[in-house]
Each structure stands twice: as C-alpha cells, then as structure tokens.
Amino acid sequence: MKRIAIDMDEVIADFVPKHLSIFNDKFKDNITIENLKGKKLRELRPELKNEIINILTEPAFFRDLKVIKDSQEVIQELSEHYEIFITTAAMEFPTSFTEKYEWLKEHFSFLNDLNFVFCGDKSIINADFLIDDNARHFKRFNGQGILFTSPHNMNETEYVRVNNWKEVKEYFLK
C-alpha cells in the first residue's frame, strides 16, 4: 500500500477562523479571511508577530478546532486503499501535544494511534504523498507534495493543488 502523510492545521483542523477571531477580539481589529489571501496574519500585522504566535500557546487553543469539511469521510475511505499517517509539525508548539492528540482521538478515532506522527522537520517523513498547506515542507520531501488550499498559499503555483477534500478524493480514488 502507498502511504499518504496528512498535515493537521489548515488541512483537517480549521485553524484560521479561530486564530483570526481571537486576534480581532484581542486587538480590536477587523481582519477577514479575504485579507489573508496570499499572506499569513503575522505578515499582515508584523508589529504584533509575537502576540499572534502567543495566541497559539494559550491552553486548549488546538483542542476545539472545527474539523475541515469532508476530511473524516474522505480519509476513512482513503484508508481502505492507502496507509494514512497524520503528520503535524507539533514541535513548533510543544504545549499543543496533548490537545492535538485528544483532538485526533475525538475526530479520527478510526486511525491507529501509531499512525499519528508529531514531528518537527517533515523531510524525515517517508511517504509517497504529503498533503499540506505549507509548501516549505515539500522542498526536501522525497514523495509527491500536494498543496491543500489555504488563504495564505493562494499565490503558490509550484505544486499540485487541491482546494478541498472532494478534490483529494478525486485525486486518489479516480
């Protein structure tokens, strides 16, 4: 069976809406998802870079993120034909380990715990495909990178792109 590695934030966990709404509340701002096309929040408000990152270290930030539409159904289906691994660069936010693990157990309980990979540099991942919203992870990845659309990566043209989980299904099960 071929292996598919799948990122968490902005691929199966809907990270941007929560991050943005906490930021807007805290700093009395009005940034919309539209404003984030082609850039990250920290690039739009560089003077608040540390504060923007600090939101992510608040207890339980990652615990109640919404599941990205259709990801559960499609991953379940893919798991009948491919070996599925969830690969998250959790080392970027070490305080998130437990929350991320609990979130996966709640929403992706059909996957084996041993297929959850909490890592740092994703070039260590040995898989045939990597579905991720951050193109930087594809640079030293040996398999096929598949860019999952997120506002910040709209202008990236170098990689195969999927806009949603229906398109992921089409790509792998056509």
Reported as type and span, the H/E element at residue 130 is: strand 129-132
Task: Please name which of 101, 172, 96 lies closest in space to residue 131, comparing C-alpha atoms.
Answer: 172
Burial of 109 (0-12, 13-18, 19+ CB in 10 A): exposed
Whether 133 sits among the annotated catalytic residues: the reply is no
Among 5, 6, 9, 75, binds Mg ion (CB under 5 A): 9
Which CB sits closer to Mg ion, 47 or 89? 89
Subset of 100-139 contacting Mg ion (CB under 5 A): 133
Whether 7 sits among the annotated catalytic residues: the reply is yes
Task: Please name which of 91, 137, 80 lies closest in space to residue 118, comparing C-alpha atoms.
Answer: 91
Considering the rule CB under 5 A, would residue 99 count as an interface residue with Mg ion?
A: no
Subset of 20-79 contacting Mg ion (CB under 5 A): none
Reported as type and span, the H/E element at residue 77 is: helix 71-78
Which CB sits closer to Mg ion, 9 or 99? 9
Q: How far is the CB of 135 from Mg ion (least distance, A)?
A: 11
Among 4, 5, 6, 7, binds Mg ion (CB under 5 A): 7
Contact 23, 41 (CB under 8 A): yes
What is the contact surface with Mg ion in residues (CB under 5 A)?
7, 9-10, 133
- Annotated catalytic sites, by residue? 7, 9
